[in-house]
Amino acid sequence: MAPTLTPDPLLPNPLPASPPPSAPALLKPGTAYADAWRRCLAAAPEAFRDDRVLTLRGGDWRPDGRTLPATTPVDGSPIAGAPRLDGTVAQEAVRAALDQHRAWRHTPLPERRARIAATLDALTAHRELLALLLVWEIGKPWRLALADVDRAIEGVRWYVDGIEPMLAGRSALDGPVSNIASWNYPMSVLVHAALVQALAGNAVIAKTPTDGGAACLTLAMALAAREGVPVTLVGGSGRELNQALVRAPEIGCVSFVGGRDTGADVATAVAGLGTRHILEQEGLNTWGVWDFSGWERLTAVIPGLFDYGKQRCTAYPRFVVQRSLFDAFLAAYLPAVRSVRVGHPLAVADPADPLPELDYGPLINAAKAKELTDQVAEAVDRGAVPLYRGRPDGTRFLPGQDTSAYVHPVTLLNPPPSSPLHHAEPFGPVDTIVLVDTEAELLAAMNASNGALVATLATDDRATFDRLAPQIRAFKTGHGVPRSRGDRDELFGGFGASWRGAFVGGELLVRAVTQGPAGERLPGNFPEYQLMP
């Protein structure tokens, strides 16, 4: 007979073992892609067909072009792709947008405000549907998808409430604004910009990103068009549409968000034509650590830096660390990166369960996941030291689901100079760490990509920050805290190759898409001058 164990009064009673978390078994009811598509057909039947989204030009929805095949990154199943137009149809759309622009620019501001405000009310009414589309089309977790929609609505409402002084002495451009943006923030970047441009008196053209967001953008533009806002929505290859959306003489301004290679082509085109432009491009945003001791604060912030798998222009994929602090840095960093939550954004164990709280889900597609995985393998083969590799958590995925677009966090020490991970933004959940011994090395490593959008320098000494921060080539540099693109009155831009043209944010966004006094020099990064706000 086994002896009876008497608890030791000097020791705490042992806690019962926690049951393992339940593995997800199903999609949250009502969140299937088919459910979202049916809701789109009911919400905007003019813009959707049973099997495709339509294009919007000249105020009419049309079945232009052929639809590109597409799959969701969430589980690899088929979804509606973007329409692919040829250059001739795109040029017709631009000419129609110019006709809309010539009428809209003379529409009184109170009427423009009323129509944009009505659009915001309609977006609010369909907030959860727009977010659900973002989950399926670009893989955003529910929390981040809702945030993308809310930032668009709240950001534009700020302009609606305060537009009068921003437009004092200014007028609309001579032609519509052409918007070409990446897939990662369809609402808070693309829709936000388009509605502010329209509020300022311009007709707007938006290109649907090829990699994702077709249904979300179509629904948002349909709601705007219903309120009489002059919007055009087209899709297709950048090469085929370049002549119309970038080089056409009807275009008053080109607003581009994307990579440096495509951005360089756009920059060359607009510079030769003298077209107003806003070109936001990638840069290697860095987080420097020098004479620092606030490790608990660093541990707390690391998981948030992985939001949306670092698929954002203000992500921090590079840490530049003082060599003598490396052991303390790892002690703070590794527990934090181990806590990052990755999984299927809509999978639950029970129908009554809330949607999962995740830091990110899939990358934009399986091809990007493979590219990034191959880059990591190549960097390690060439000498990078793998410090951390995340592993799938089976409790966050559906049984047997396609996970080819998912990449778990990876951390590499000293990527070799021959690797793209050494000098370019990975646009995925891969952190790289570079060790330095001097302030000169710190600055050189933080400026590795010839300009960035944001940076952070974590140092205990304010005087050290004030001395070094101006030498970091980033538009915004935080003192031990991350910086973001910003909302409402916060300005945004970039240094070096990370930005071309006018800066934006707050009043500057309105100035960038309107005409002021003769000879006005806009704040921005132009070939002939750089002017800070």
Q: What percent of the chain has pLDDT over 90?
A: 88
* Dist CA 357 CA 393 (whole Å): 14
* pLDDT given at position 6: 35
Burial of 331 (0-12, 13-18, 19+ CB in 10 A): exposed
Question: What's the pLDDT at 21?
Answer: 55
Q: Please count the other Cβ atoms lying within 10 Å of the Cβ belonging to residue 517.
A: 7
Do the bridges between strand 430-436 and strand 410-413 make them parallel or antiparallel, or are there none, so unpaired? parallel
150: burial class by Cβ within 10 Å (0-12, 13-18, 19+)? middle
346-361: string of b/e by CB count within 10 Å (b at 16+)?
bbbeeeeeebbebbbb
DSSP string of 320-337, one letter each residue = EEEGGGHHHHHHHHHHHH
Each residue's pLDDT tens digit, 366-404 = 999 999 999 999 999 999 999 999 999 988 999 999 999
Per-position DSSP letters for 107-163, written without gaps between them: S-HHHHHHHHHHHHHHHHHTHHHHHHHHHHHH---HHHHHHHHHHHHHHHHHHHHHH
d(CA 165, CA 159) in angstroms, rounded, equals 10
Cβ partners under 8 Å of residue 158, min gap 6 = 487, 488, 489
Q: What is the pLDDT of residues 478-520, one digit of tens each?
A: 999 999 998 899 999 998 889 999 999 999 999 999 999 999 9
Q: Which spans in 455-506 are helix H?
A: 462-468
Neighbours of 336 (CB within 10 A): 17
d(CA 245, CA 208): 12
* pTM for the full predicted model: 0.93
410, 390 contact by CB (below 8 A): yes
CA distance 464 to 54: 55
Residue 22: the pLDDT is: 65
* One-letter identity of residue 515: Q
Q: Closest Cα partner for 405 from 347, 449, 344?
A: 344
Name the pairing type of β-strands 499-502 and 524-525: antiparallel
Closest-CA residue to 179 (of 147, 156, 153, 202): 202
Polymer length in residues for the chain = 533
- Residues with pLDDT less than 50, the chain: 1-20
Q: What are phi and psi of 435, to 5 degrees?
A: -95, 140
